[in-house]
């Protein structure tokens, strides 16, 4: 774990070429005067897949920005069942409930190797009071998180499982050479995301591969040979 002093980050010192503090989604609008009001360091660290950043019910002291990788926010119900309620992607802010409550409402667990900035909530609270720019960013990121959660539930929890998977891949796809590629996670995690058994996920992936909608299915990713065709397939679920 690496501790980053805000002043050094602003001035471009301490390996800040690779540091996300200056261009963080949360701090993007801040100026030097805003940064001068921050008197606590920010922790910059990496974790391997399956690491738990915090557990549901833990004392909520930090807000996090994800720089690389993917994280699942897992909610445990009173009956012992669990559900993945949000997939955190690079650039996303999470743990924002710490600004309203003393306890985290979900567990945050790395789905892949991750790179994260951990920001003390007292920094966010004090800057939010003093800087209108910071307040705007907090409101903006909170709104984005709510919109993302709503889209998450509506797109991957309705329709046939193949349609849901198509929407999921379209949300996360990126260009890699001549093909588009989307990440895959453990089948159990995929099942928790879509509220189906992991065997159902495996069968749906095999069916989509047979139809030529996806290719080179591995533990970590799938290729999308024809993005337009996958979009048309996903749209069928909306007709």
Q: Are residues 126 and 44 in the same domain?
A: yes
What is the model's pLDDT at position 19? Answer: 46
**Does the pLDDT of residue 117 top 90, yes or no?**
no
Helix (H), strand (E), coil (C) string for the chain? CEEECHHHHHHCCCCCCCCCCCCCCCCCCCCHHHHHCCCCCEEEEEECCCCEEECCCCECCEEEEEEECCEEEEEECCCCCEEEEEEECCCCEECHHHHCCCECCCEEEECCCEEEEEEEHHHHHHHHHHCHHHHHHHHHHHHHHHHHHHHHHHHHCCCCHHHHHHHHHHHHCEEECCEEEEECCCHHHHHHHHCCCHHHHHHHHHHHHHCCCCECCCCCEEEECCHHHHHHHHHHHHC
One domain for residues 132 and 71:
yes
Same domain, 129 and 43: yes
Query: If we measure between CA atoms, which residue out of 6, 117, 122 comes closest to residue 53?
Result: 117
The CATH code of the domain that includes 169 is: 1.10.10.10
Q: Check whether residue 12 and residue 85 sit in a common domain.
A: yes
For residues 131 and 34, the answer to whether their CB atoms sit within 8 Å is yes
> Both 138 and 174 in a single domain?
no
* Distance of alpha carbon 156 from alpha carbon 148, whole angstroms: 12
Residue 228 and residue 161: Cα distance in Å, rounded?
Answer: 19
Q: Do residues 109 and 17 share a domain?
A: yes
Q: Which two tokens stand for residue 170?
A: 């379209």
- State the residue range of the domain holding 213: 157-238
141 and 181 co-located in one domain = no
Number of domains in the chain: 2
* 174 & 143 share domain: no
- Judge if 17 and 78 occupy the same domain: yes
Supply the CATH number for residue 53's domain: 2.60.120.10
In terms of domains, do 148 and 216 share one? Answer: no
Domain boundary among 112, 138, 155: 155
Indicate the range of 3-12, 48-57, 146-155 predicted with least confidence. Answer: 3-12
The tokens describing 148, both together, are 């993302």
Given 106, 127, 155, which residue is the final one in a domain?
A: 155
Portion of the chain with pLDDT greater than 90, in percent: 41
Task: Answer yes or no: do 204 and 127 share one domain.
Answer: no
The confidence score (pLDDT) of residue 159 equals 86
Per-residue confidence (pLDDT) for residue 37, from 0 to 100? 54
Average pLDDT over residues 156-166: 90
Based on the fold, state whether residues 114 and 195 are members of the same structural domain. Answer: no
CA distance 71 to 89: 7
Q: Which residue has the higher pLDDT, 148 or 30?
A: 148
Confidence of residue 85 (pLDDT cuts 50, 70, 90): confident
φ, ψ for residue 228, nearest 5 deg? -65, -40
pLDDT at 239 over 60: no
Domain-terminating residue out of 96, 129, 155: 155
């Amino acid at each position: 774990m690496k501790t980053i002093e805000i002043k050094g980050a602003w001035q471009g010192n301490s390996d800040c070429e690779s540091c996300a503090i200056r261009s963080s989604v949360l701090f993007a609008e801040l100026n030097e005067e805003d940064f001068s009001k921050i008197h606590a360091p920010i922790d910059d660290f990496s974790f391997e897949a399956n690491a738990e950043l915090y557990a549901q019910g833990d004392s909520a002291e930090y807000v996090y920005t994800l720089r690389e990788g993917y994280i699942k926010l897992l909610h445990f119900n009173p009956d012992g069942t669990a559900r993945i309620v949000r997939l955190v992607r690079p650039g996303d802010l999470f743990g924002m409930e710490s600004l309203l409550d003393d306890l985290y409402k979900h567990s945050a667990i790395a789905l892949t190797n991750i790179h994260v900035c951990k920001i003390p909530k007292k920094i966010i609270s004090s800057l939010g009071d003093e800087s209108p720019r910071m307040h705007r960013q907090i409101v903006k990121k909170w709104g984005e998180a709510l919109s993302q959660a709503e889209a998450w539930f509506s797109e991957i929890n309705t329709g046939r499982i193949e349609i849901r998977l198509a929407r999921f891949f379209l949300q996360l796809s990126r260009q890699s050479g001549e093909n588009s590629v989307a990440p895959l996670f453990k089948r159990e995690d995929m099942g928790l995301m879509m509220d189906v058994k992991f065997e159902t996920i495996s069968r749906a992936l095999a069916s989509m591969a047979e139809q030529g909608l996806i290719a080179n299915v591995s533990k970590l990713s799938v290729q999308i040979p024809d993005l337009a065709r996958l979009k048309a397939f996903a749209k069928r679920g909306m007709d």
